[in-house]
Amino acid sequence: MASGPSKDIVTEENGQFESRKREHIELSLLPDNQATGRSGLDEYHLPHCAMPEIDWNEISIESSILGAVRKTPFLISSMTAGHHGSVNLNERLALAASRRGWIMGVGSQRKELFDEEAHQEWVELRKTIGSELLMVGNIGLSQVIQTPPEKIQDLVDSLKAIALFVHTNPLQEALQVEGTPYFKGGFESVARLSQILSVPVILKETGCGFSASTLQQANELGIYAVDVAGFGGTHWGRIEGGRNGADALKNQAAKTFANWGVSTYQSLLNARGLDKKNFAVWASGGIRSGLDAAKCISLGAECVGFAKPLLDSAVQSQDALEKTMEALEFELKVALFCTGSRSVNDLKKLRV
Ligand SMILES: Cc1cc2nc3c(=O)[nH]c(=O)nc-3n(C[C@H](O)[C@H](O)[C@H](O)COP(=O)(O)O)c2cc1C
């Protein structure tokens, strides 16, 4: 996620943006910045079926996402990845996503709002990877509030995106040295954007999840989905705390808020508990295995996203990244087999 030093989004220097991006990648890989074991999914169990009445080769993980059938229900969650040493992480992630038929969420495109050259990255990526890759754009809620919808449409067009994530991250913006904690008018701006944009809008958190009342209000926005991105994985309060250095006030507050957030499991239950739901539910935040993903699907998720586990392997090698993705798909298949589900849809119908 990206943000500037003041309410004026065009003032940030490119150098400052790049160094923050580097710090975010390095800090998100540290175990202390992960709320490991707190997603709530470890306490939720799928029922074992001792006699599945299915052969392994009948199992399919194909899924309907955004109104079309995809090879898997999986998403590379939005990451401002850029370069790590000499490696172009976005290229690595894009190649892997296109080979395995995953959807790829790119990191915040905020830089494109003030740097006319920034969209070139996507032009080059499309040249290398091709047009098949399904990409979802990304922009922060504070930028949506301050930017005319036509300029946000440019972000979608530059990427040839199939949808746009609008990320919300109040804890991070409050604790970040350069944060933009300005969210007034957020609901109205997202509703307006959803009406005007050429592609569906998906509202996402970044690791702090959604309460039942925020989800209730999301019903009125005309959005396609909410990606709960709950507590239990990468934690941006902790990460910004580690970046604050001399800013003792924000540093101390980051420790106080180290376990802040609605867990991914609870966020999914909150969505399930709504009387009426006008949006699809996507799950992410601390999803660390294909079994975690299966649990989220059984709780109603249409699509399941992974960030940190893929970043971890992407910094190692292309091969490591694709092996991780293969392992996640395999584990989902095992979960389907052992619950007696032939398909992802069967898993959704499972009585737990
Ligand atoms: C290095 C890094 C950069 C990220 N940048 C963004 C971003 O630009 N926009 C966004 O919506 N989320 C961003 N995220 C948050 C992820 O999309 C995800 O919501 C969060 O990391 C929780 O998932 P995880 O526990 O699997 O890491 C970033 C995550 C990481 C690790």
Write the pLDDT tens digit of every residue in 281-317. 999 999 999 999 999 999 999 999 999 999 999 999 9
% of the chain exceeding 70 in pLDDT: 94
- Asked if 138 and 106 touch (Cβ cutoff 8 Å), the reply is yes
| SS3 annotation, 133-144 | CCEEEEEEHHHH
Q: Which fold has domain 14-349?
A: TIM Barrel (3.20.20)
Sign of the dihedral defined by the CA atoms of residues 206, 209, 215, 217, in that order: negative
pLDDT value at residue 80 = 85
**Domain boundaries in the chain?**
14-349
- Asked if 286 and 38 touch (Cβ cutoff 8 Å), the reply is yes
For residue range 28-68, list pLDDT tens digits in order.
999 999 999 999 999 999 999 999 999 999 999 999 999 99
> Which residue has a Cα nearest atom 18 of ligand 1?
206
pLDDT value at residue 190 = 98
**pTM surpassing 0.85?**
yes
> Which residue has a Cα nearest atom 26 of ligand 1?
307
**Ligand 1 centroid vs 45 CA: distance in angstroms?**
26
For residue range 122-134, list pLDDT tens digits in order.
999 999 999 999 9
For residue range 235-291, list pLDDT tens digits in order.
999 999 888 776 789 999 999 999 999 999 999 999 999 999 999 999 999 999 999
- Report the candidate in 88, 103, 95, 193 with the shortest Cα–Cα distance to residue 140: 193
Q: How confident is the model at residue 13 (pLDDT cuts 50, 70, 90)?
A: low
- AA identity, residue 7: K
For residue range 63-117, list pLDDT tens digits in order.
999 999 999 999 999 998 777 766 799 999 999 999 999 999 999 999 999 999 9
pLDDT value at residue 38 = 97
pLDDT value at residue 8 = 41
Lowest-confidence region among 9-13, 140-144, 156-160, 334-338 = 9-13
In order of 26, 101, 129, the CA distances from 315 in angstroms are 10, 20, 19
Q: How confident is the model at residue 14 (pLDDT cuts 50, 70, 90)?
A: low
Say if residue 10's pLDDT is above 70. Answer: no
- As a whole number of angstroms, the distance between CA 80 and CA 250 comes to 23
Identify the residues whose C-beta falls under 6 Å from ligand 1.
Answer: 1, 24-25, 28, 77-80, 107-108, 138, 165, 167, 204, 206-207, 229, 233-234, 284-287, 306-308, 311
Ligand 1: atom nearest CA of 29 is 31
Q: How confident is the model at residue 7 (pLDDT cuts 50, 70, 90)?
A: very low
- As a whole number of angstroms, the distance between CA 135 and CA 161 comes to 5
Mutation choice for ligand 1 from 21, 23, 32, 80, CB with most ligand atoms inside 8 A:
80
